[in-house]
Amino acid sequence: MTYRTPLLGLLAALPLALPAAAQELPQLRVAFSEDADVMDPTTGRAYVQRVALLNMCESLFDYNSKMQIVPRLALSYEWADPQTLVVKLRPNVSFNDGTPVDAAAVKYSIERHQTFTGSARRGDLGSLTAVEIVDPLTVRFKLKGPDVVFLSQLGVRAGVLVSPTASEAAGKDFGQRPVCAGPYRFLERVAQDRIVLEKVPNYWDGANYHFSRITFRPIADSTVRLANLRAGAIDINMSVPPTLADEVRKDPKLKLYTFDGIGYTGLTVNMGRNNTTPGPFGTDKRIRQAFDLAIDREAIVNVVFNGVHAANAYPVPATSPFFDATLPQPKRDVARAKALMAAAGVKLPFVVPLTVINNPEAVQVAEVMQSMVAEVGFELKLNTMEFVSTLNAADKGDYVGWTVGWTGRPDADGNLRDLLYTGAGTNYVGYKNPEFDTLLDQARSTADMAVRKAAYRKIYSLLRDDLPIIYLYSPRWNFGMAAKVEGFDPVADGMLRLGGVKFAR
């Protein structure tokens, strides 16, 4: 859309000046809901940082729309044994400063992820003991024990390669001018305003990328983000809230992509985090089971999210290859819930302080639950605070229940291990269950999907009985796009992969 000047000549659709060669391709403008953190694949944590990074910092592997792992900078892989992964690299690929992508660069990058101060990838690579150079285009990863999940880590930020030359030159400041291998390179960043990427000539997969520049803009307000999309000031809005989804759907100039994510939102229960002594809600599973039976997940997603998200009592979404559709989704049963409360012998009303992040949707979910569980005799006391404060309280074990989401990992292990394995850093529950730990270890020790799925089935049943986390729903992504954008193939991790994406002629 071009802005029509009414007065004073104050107008203008105004693309930045471009070199002549790059002007042959159009530019793409993308909005997300918050600003990215540091643009370093080793220390960056934010989802939006990964979105901006994805098309300029490729990993060894990636995921396709079926969440299958596919090679990118790698050409192929082979499990020599359950503790040894051999990866062959794509030949004749260079980082954007000309440094070759070879086995030495892989070793450098992965070891950087393991040792760099404040690395956020250390946990992802926890099972890795050594990276060995077999030949210039082959690397061998040696693991502490059988861990097939390791391969999935090489498909996210832990598998991103950085230019050793640029990294050594920049040191701690690498995030200010990251240099990786990818179809785009970093051009500029103005904090809170924009991150601009520019297309790289002669990239191995360059013909599949159809924009000269990508500009990412953080626009915090969802109404304003949508107004920008409707006004043509952006082409893609990566975060349309469920309440505004209908507006996008009804607008003929726009289109909406709604697709499953890989995470979950649930009620995390304190069962002894940080050696705290939990109350009856954390110690007596009958009370948690009563709570679980008192809530109606379908009603929650319909009331708060216009039915956009998927009610789900399990840690992985229905589209995950690790989901087990034969396991039942619980229905609300007030009579059974009351019976369980009676069996637990607690005095009614039974007070449950619930820590809630102070965003409108989280508060609404809590309020809907509050009215549902009141019928069974629970008095849900909402304690709303901003995210960082809830995180701090959870870390100390200073909470009873906490509604919070997990962004999710492609492998089911990533939605369970860090959160519930005994002693794991983000095990805010303080969960200690040797049977669960054993099953989880079994599930990662083999690449045989049938065996893995059987182990996860047992895990899900165990979690449904114990309820350390009362899973509520699986969030779905809502991407709004200008109608002219075509070729977008959604992937459940919510990334914006621009291969094949272009404007209709």
- The site for other proteins (CB under 8 A) is made up of 1-6, 8-14, 16, 34-40, 43, 45-46, 117-123, 126, 172-173, 175-176, 190-193, 217-221, 223-224, 227-228, 230-231, 233, 385-389, 391-393, 395, 407, 418, 424-426
Task: Return the ∠ at Cα 454 (arms to 453 and 457), rounded to 5°.
Answer: 85
Nearer to other proteins, 407 or 442 (CB): 407
Rounded CA-CA distance 44/50 in Å is: 8
Beta bridge pairs of residue 351: 379
Rounded CA-CA distance 341/419 in Å is: 27
Beta bridge pairs of residue 196: 188, 215
- Say if strands 27-32 and 236-237 run parallel, antiparallel, or are unpaired: parallel
Nearer to other proteins, 1 or 447 (CB): 1
Angle of helix 285-294 versus helix 334-344 axis, rounded to 10: 160
Nearer to other proteins, 113 or 444 (CB): 113
Nearer to other proteins, 35 or 493 (CB): 35
Task: Return the ∠ at Cα 95 (arms to 94 and 97), rounded to 5°.
Answer: 110
We find the least distance from the C-beta atom of residue 38 to other proteins, in angstroms, to be: 5
Nearer to other proteins, 137 or 393 (CB): 393
We find the least distance from the C-beta atom of residue 120 to other proteins, in angstroms, to be: 5
We find the least distance from the C-beta atom of residue 137 to other proteins, in angstroms, to be: 31
We find the least distance from the C-beta atom of residue 253 to other proteins, in angstroms, to be: 11
Q: Provide the 10 A C-beta neighbour count for residue 403.
A: 21
Pick from 493, 499, 498: which is nearest to 63 by CA? 493
Pick from 160, 152, 128: which is nearest to 415 by CA? 152
* Pair of tokens at residue 200: 């790289």
Nearer to other proteins, 50 or 199 (CB): 50
Beta bridge pairs of residue 312: none
Q: Provide the 10 A C-beta neighbour count for residue 193.
A: 12
- How close are the terminal C-alpha atoms of the chain, in Å? 15
We find the least distance from the C-beta atom of residue 146 to other proteins, in angstroms, to be: 21
| CA-CA-CA-CA dihedral for 197, 202, 206, 207, to nearest 10 | 130
Nearer to other proteins, 12 or 343 (CB): 12
Strands (E), 386-454: 401-406
We find the least distance from the C-beta atom of residue 294 to other proteins, in angstroms, to be: 30
We find the least distance from the C-beta atom of residue 324 to other proteins, in angstroms, to be: 25
Rounded CA-CA distance 131/148 in Å is: 16
Sheet with 254-260: list strands edge to edge: 184-190, 194-199, 213-218, 27-32, 236-237, 476-482, 254-260
Nearer to other proteins, 71 or 468 (CB): 468
Nearer to other proteins, 121 or 285 (CB): 121
We find the least distance from the C-beta atom of residue 330 to other proteins, in angstroms, to be: 28
The three-class DSSP label of residue 476 is strand
Nearer to other proteins, 5 or 329 (CB): 5
We find the least distance from the C-beta atom of residue 196 to other proteins, in angstroms, to be: 13
Per-residue H/E/C for 125-149: CCCEEEEEEEECCEEEEEECCCCCH
We find the least distance from the C-beta atom of residue 407 to other proteins, in angstroms, to be: 7
